[in-house]
Structures are given as C-alpha cells and as structure tokens.
Structure 1
Amino acid sequence: MPTVPFIAIEGPIGIGKTSLAKKLSARFDFHLLKEIVEENPFLGKFYDNIEEWSFQTEMFFLCNRFKQLEDIEQKYLRKNKAVIADYHISKNMIFARRTLPADKFDKYEQIYHILTKDMPVPNIMIYMHASLDTILERIRKRGRDIEQNIKSSYLAQLADDYEAYMNEFEMLHPDIPVIRIDGDKMDFVKHQDDLENIISQVKQQMQYQQAISKH
C-alpha cells in the first residue's frame, strides 16, 4: 500500500517553519497542521521567568499537540490524506530537557512517552537551521510581542539542542529522510529559486518512498 505523505518541519524558534509549511501545503495541496503557540497562556510568563513557568508551559504544549495529532490521524492519515505540519511532537523533549528541573523532567518524560506511544510518525522530516544572527533577525521581523523578551543565550542553546537532536534522530530513524535547509544560505520567502529547490527535494523523497512502499 502506498505511503501517504506525512511531512514535519522542525527547527529553532523564528526559523520560518510555518512560512515553509504554508508554501508546501499550497503547492502540494496537503492539509496544513500548525502548532498552537500564542494560545499558550503561560508562554509570556515563561519567557520572563523560565524556571518558574517551564512545567506549566511544556505541559500545555504537550497536551495540545497530542490532541492535534490524534485528530490528524483520525481525520486525514487514516483516510489516506496527506499532511504537512510545522512541528514534530518530539520537539517537546528538546524544550523540556533544556527548561525543566530534573525532578519535573522525570515526571514530564513519563507522561510524554505514555501520550506519544501510538502517535503517527512523519515519514519525511525537514530540518531548518541557521546562525543565531539569522534567527534573531527573523524573530525581530515577525514582531511577536510575546517573543521580544527571549534571551539570545536561550536561543543559542536551543539551536545547539536542535542540532544534537536531529543528528540523533537520523541515527535512530534511518528510514525517515531528513531534508536539511540552511537558513543562512537559503531564503525561500525572498527567492523563488530557493523555494523550488526545497520543493524539488521534497518531491524526490516522496517519489522514493512511494517506490519503496510498492516493493
């Protein structure tokens, strides 16, 4: 049976995940799954005081993303309808490991594994990365008030965490291709050629997976 495309885009805050997801969704006519961010009532407090508000923030994200993926599985993937998401739920562990104290992280990790045990896994990952300067510039340009208090040191740590996580992801999931996009060299919003390059890579991976699934 052919594999229905389920593509997830990942990368640090402000890198352009949602912008790319929208463009790919429009080009391929895939259902767009956008993560809930600004609706999180704890997020502003979190950026002001990470230690105080990390557990509430991470639990809100986990529960909402779980519900979103559950809906996506039932309404789209099981009906053989393709989906592109601007996040992967495993990002929760990247943030939780960075922000939660050890005792709360242990509890969080247990809940995470219970909730995600049977969740659908993307069959293509797009990983967007860039230098801290590029990330800061993109955050500034999009102008979300809630993000203006994010510390540069936190963003730098997060970028390193993502790099380590994606390297580990490729080792643990050799059957899931990872398309890496260098945000310092590619700007798919300004340059159509860059967008077409990414679209070409996605097409190639989808064709390859369809071919594999037929054998």
Structure 2
Amino acid sequence: MNQVPFIAVEGPIGVGKTSLSQKIATYFSFYILKEIVEENPFLGKFYDDIEAWSFQTEMFFLCNRFKQLDDIKKDFLSQSKPVVADYHIMKNMIFAKRTLPADKFDKYEQIYHILTNDMARPNVLIYLDASLETLLARIDQRGRSVEEKIQPAYLAQLRQDYQQFMSEFEQKHSDIPVIRINGDELDFIKHQADLDCIFAKIKPYLSKGVQTQ
C-alpha cells in the first residue's frame, strides 16, 4: 500500500482489541492509539440506565475520539509514522444506533458526519469476534468496575450489531482490507503461534518500509 499504514482493531466489548493492538504496536514498531473508556464520566450511569444516559455517553466518546484522531493525523500520519488503534471511529454509529432514541440519533448522526468528514481513517481493519461466552469470561477476567453491570443480552445484541455492520462495511468499502479473526479459535494471549498467525495475515498489507522486530 502507498499510504502510511494505519490499522484499526475492532470488535465487541471484551474481545481483546487493546491487547492485540499493543502486540501489533510492539512487533511492527507502530504508535498505539488507545480509546478512552473508563475516563468517560457517564459510562457507569449508562450501564445502570441506558435510555437515560446514552446521548451523554455517546457524545463524550465521539468528541474524545475526534480529538484523538485529529492529533494522530497531524502528529503521526502526516509525518509518515504508522499507527495502530484499538478502535475505529465507525464504532460510534454501531453503539448510537443501538442505544439512542430516533430523535436523538438523528441529531447525533449529523454531528458525527460533520466531525468525521475529513478525518483520517484506517486503511486496514482487523475485526475480532468471539462467542458471547468468551466475551463474558474476558470481561470478568479484566475486572473493570464500569463493566460489572453489562447485561449478557446487551452484549449479545451488540455482537450481532457488529456482525451486521461489518458485512455492510465490507460492501461499501471494498478498497479497505478487513482481516477477520475468530477469537474462539485463536488465543493470541496464551499462544504465540496464534499471534504469529495474525501477524502473518497483517504483513501483506503493510508497505515495504515497515520494520518488524
């Protein structure tokens, strides 16, 4: 690819996006961009009452991710420095469609398109998926207090939303390669061979100038 490599790792809550992004950053010597999660002051209230706190929660995420990606564009991509992010800005629409009432979603969508109109977007997307059982187990293992009240039904629906969105994404953005990883079949945390398999899937999409360790 002629572009500066900009990889995004996406998938439902608990699938291992940040863990994989960190390993990619280390192996390929990329800068890692991590999304702000626990710093969101509305997130705990959101899991208590999704309807009441969804707009505040989603707007906080959108504004912070916009600022992060704007900084990445200026400080890294414009200087030909490759980046891996543990999220894609598109995830905002996945969550907003699920959580916001129609009137608030319309307003949110307008703001989203204004902010992201000329934003730098990843040119490689890694989509991690796993069964509901695996997601719940990993959420429990990492023990984030803000995630303690996530309901299995919400997580199951979110996983379906991701699957549908990714199918639509691949149809609309055929120029952006999507690397699909089954988190039930590949455990890149416990098994180096599984991690090496993922690295092998990524390498063909990187420019010749990218160095590995």
Instruction: Tell me if TM exceeds 0.5.
Output: yes
1:26-78 deviation per Cα after TM superposition (whole angstroms, max 9, x unaligned): 00000000000000000000001000000000000000000000000000000
Give the letter for the 1:78 counterpart. Answer: S
Which residue is 1:162 aligned to?
Answer: 162
- Between the aligned residues of both structures, percent identity stands at 66
SS at match of 1:184: coil
The answer to whether structure 1 residue 88 and structure 2 residue 88 are counterparts is yes
Runs of 4 or more above 3 Å deviation: none
Correspondence for 2:50: 50
Structure 1 residue 3, shift from structure 2 partner: 1.5
Aligned to 1:36: 36
Deviations, residues 149-207 of structure 1 (Å, cap 9, x unaligned): 00000000000000001111100110110000101111000000000000011002225
Q: Aligned to 1:72, what secondary structure does the other structure show?
A: helix
CA RMSD of aligned residues (A): 1.2
Measure the CA separation in 2 of the matches of 1:141 and 1:67. 30
Q: TM-score, normalised by structure 2?
A: 0.96
CA–CA distance in structure 1, aligned partners of residues 176 and 4 of structure 2: 13
Report the count of equivalent residues: 209
**Following superposition of structure 1 onto structure 2, how do residues 191-210 of structure 1 map, counting pairs within 5 Å?**
191-207=191-207
3-state SS, counterpart of residue 22 of structure 1: helix
How much does 1:121 deviate? 1.3
The letter of the residue matching 2:148 is Q
Query: How far, CA to CA, are the matches of 1:68 and 1:92 in structure 2?
Result: 14
Hey, what's the Cα distance between the residues in 2 that align with 1:57 and 1:145? Answer: 16
Task: Compute the displacement of 1:2 (Å).
Answer: 2.8
